[in-house]
Amino acid sequence: MLNDIEQLRQRLPLPQLMQQLGLGAHVRKSAFCPFHENTHTPAFSLYEDPKHRSRWKCHAGCGGGDEVEFLKKAFGLSTRDSLKRWRELASHTPQSSIRITPLRNKATPAKTPRQSPVHPVDAHRGSRAELEALAVLRGVSLCATRVMDRQGLLTFGTFYGASCWIVTDHSGRLSEARRLDGELFEGNRKVHSLKNSVKSWPLGLALSPHFGTPNPSAQILLTEGSGDFVAAFHFSLLKGPPKWQPVSVLGKSPIHAEALPQFANRSVLIAPHVDADGGGLEAATRWNMQLTSVGCRVRMIDLSDLRTRDNTQVKDLNDCVHLAARDLADLEEVFA
């Protein structure tokens, strides 16, 4: 467990922390500040103190400090919560020695080839019966699951002895399985990421050329989790030809830094989870910050006041397929 601050600095120093948050363009000795509107003069600096620890400073008055102070400023967190967030991010980050000034006289280690997720041996495109079963399970239209199938975003197979539906895409970065009968895996787990998956990679950005490529002018509908990924296709198809490209981060981690350029300068609508602990909104706020840093125009859907037909509080976009008629009509207009 990463408890010591110096251990955290070795595992996830400030330059890499900023890159993981999608702010790699600001990892410089002179850059525009990510915390206020850019002016004609760069006001942000990243530097090393006499003890070779990374520090940041905004010369226009936003403040400065170490990794903890950066997270406090970026997300409005307390010192305690900033340390907790830093530990969470560091625990999913491999050892790194990133510095502001490149290390000299050091051989660059060879990169390990990236391996694609390992799918079940019986992995296959969905049959009509499987696509219908998934549509019934998630409460969405058959059209939604058919479109996902055509775009190479769905596969089916046996995982841990159960028939499963698996979300994936042509990037070869991430695949995640859930049981087709709606039951939990052993250990009360809803989902299993397949071996070699990169959890922070957003699914839906890369479609197989065989099934078609995304429209670069389409607005992105960004969701959290595989259930909402399916629901995003359901809602995007309700009002005629879709103008949305559904994309999903399968968890609350930051968007993978290598994926951010594919979002650059596009319009993004985020549908965050409504969690009791506020984790869904925190994740969406973090994505908003990352996406804004690459020129995206970002909006968020507020689902907190919506209830289903049986008067249950909506927790996510997938719950919205069961909305009362009036609320459903209002939400459909958002996607029209």
| pTM (2 d.p.) | 0.68
Q: What share of the chain is helix, strand, coil (3-state, %, to 5)?
A: 30, 20, 50
Q: Are residues 81 and 134 in the same domain?
A: no
Residue 108, in any domain of the structure: no
Averaged pLDDT for residues 188-192: 94
278-298 residue pLDDT tens: 889 999 999 999 999 888 999
pLDDT for residue 112: 53
Averaged pLDDT for residues 22-39: 77
Which of 45, 71, 91 is the endpoint of a domain? 91
Q: Are residues 167 and 83 in the same domain?
A: no
223-235 residue pLDDT tens: 999 999 999 999 9
Which two three-digit tokens encode residue 79? Answer: 């010192």
Instruction: Yes or no: say if 207 and 218 are a contact pair by the CB < 8 Å rule.
Output: no
pLDDT for residue 103: 28
Q: Are residues 285 and 163 in the same domain?
A: yes
Question: Which CATH number goes with the domain that contains 61?
Answer: 3.90.580.10
pLDDT for residue 321: 92
Q: Are residues 59 and 172 in the same domain?
A: no
Cα 257 versus chain centre, distance: 10
pLDDT for residue 37: 63
Q: Are residues 269 and 330 in the same domain?
A: yes
Which two three-digit tokens encode residue 211? Answer: 């099934």
Instruction: Yes or no: say if 2 and 95 are a contact pair by the CB < 8 Å rule.
Output: no
Q: Are residues 54 and 164 in the same domain?
A: no
pLDDT for residue 1: 43
238-272 residue pLDDT tens: 876 667 899 999 988 899 888 888 898 999 999 99
pLDDT for residue 97: 37
Residue 16, in any domain of the structure: yes
Q: Are residues 196 and 327 in the same domain?
A: yes
Question: Is residue 139 predicted with pLDDT exceeding 60?
Answer: yes
Residue 117, in any domain of the structure: no
Beta pairing partners, 162:
159
Burial of 276 (0-12, 13-18, 19+ CB in 10 A): exposed
What average pLDDT does the chain have?
A: 84
Residue 105, in any domain of the structure: no
User: Quick count: other Cβ atoms within 10 Å of Cβ 16?
Assistant: 23
pLDDT confidence bin for 76, thresholds 50/70/90: confident
pLDDT confidence bin for 99, thresholds 50/70/90: very low
Beta pairing partners, 45:
57
Number of domains observed in the structure of the chain? 2
Q: Are residues 273 and 179 in the same domain?
A: yes
Its domain, for residue 307, covers 128-334
Residue 316, in any domain of the structure: yes
Instruction: Yes or no: say if 158 and 164 are a contact pair by the CB < 8 Å rule.
Output: yes
Instruction: Yes or no: say if 279 and 249 are a contact pair by the CB < 8 Å rule.
Output: no
pLDDT for residue 154: 95
Q: Are residues 72 and 142 in the same domain?
A: no
Residue 102, in any domain of the structure: no
Which of 91, 112, 147 is the endpoint of a domain? 91
Residue 163, in any domain of the structure: yes
Cα distance between residue 272 and residue 252, in whole Å: 10
Instruction: Yes or no: say if 16 and 93 are a contact pair by the CB < 8 Å rule.
Output: yes
Which of 40, 62, 91 is the endpoint of a domain? 91
Residue 112, in any domain of the structure: no
Which two three-digit tokens encode residue 253? Answer: 């981690």
Q: Are residues 141 and 61 in the same domain?
A: no
| Contacts of range 89-93, beta carbons closer than 8 Å, 24 or more positions apart | 89/12, 89/17, 89/20, 89/254, 90/2, 90/8, 90/11, 90/12, 91/2, 92/199, 92/200, 92/253, 93/11, 93/12, 93/16, 93/20
Cα distance between residue 151 and residue 125, in whole Å: 11
Instruction: Yes or no: say if 289 and 22 are a contact pair by the CB < 8 Å rule.
Output: yes
pLDDT for residue 24: 77
Cα 166 versus chain centre, distance: 17
Nearest to 68 by CA among 14, 11, 21: 14
Q: Are residues 78 and 134 in the same domain?
A: no
Q: Are residues 35 and 178 in the same domain?
A: no
Question: Is residue 123 predicted with pLDDT exceeding 50?
Answer: yes
pLDDT confidence bin for 116, thresholds 50/70/90: confident
For the ranges 17-21, 66-70, 292-296, 313-317, which has the lowest average pLDDT?
17-21
Tokens 């226009």, located at residue: 60
